[in-house]
Amino acid sequence: MSHHHPSQPFPAPCIIDFGIIVNAEDMKRILNDLGRVRYIHTLDGHLESEGEGWIVEVFNDPNQATIVVNRSLYLNVQSFDYLQLQRTEKQEAYFDLIQDRRCLRLIPITYSSPIPESNSNMDAAALEAMVTQVLAAKWDMQLDDEDDCPF
């Protein structure tokens, strides 16, 4: 019995917008770019927890855990079988980290996301006035320092 081996290896996968990533290094590269995310943790399809946080570290180590605590996500790609890339109906990307019956969904929070009203209390005029005051105080301080010069 003979096995036919192609003379050239298959090209590396090319995944655009949708697909399943099984290579740990590819998973790390994708997850490292996410930054701030909304996460949804489900087990057997039932919601276990959800929240928002920052991806602090993405690593590949069989001896360490994935930890989500205090709005910080420490993601070990060894904790998951694969990462599935998907898009919502509005064409926004999200990422499902799958391990058996567990899913950790990561939804990037982008700067184009609406900013809650409570964070936008300051208008442009108020900001400009504050900057002007800071610059004026700096100039006053520099002029005071020059007055102390003996020559």
> Is residue 27 pLDDT above 80, yes or no?
yes
> Is residue 104 pLDDT above 90, yes or no?
yes
Q: What is the pLDDT of residue 39?
A: 97
Let me know how many helices (H) and strands (E) the chain has, helices first: 2, 8
More confident residue, 128 or 36: 36
Q: What is the pLDDT of residue 54?
A: 95
The tens digit of pLDDT for each residue in 50-103 reads: 999 999 999 999 999 999 999 999 999 999 999 999 998 888 899 999 999 999
Q: What is the pLDDT of residue 118?
A: 44
Q: Do 96 and 84 touch, CB atoms closer than 8 A?
A: yes
Q: Which parts of the chain fold into alpha helices (H)?
A: 24-32, 124-147
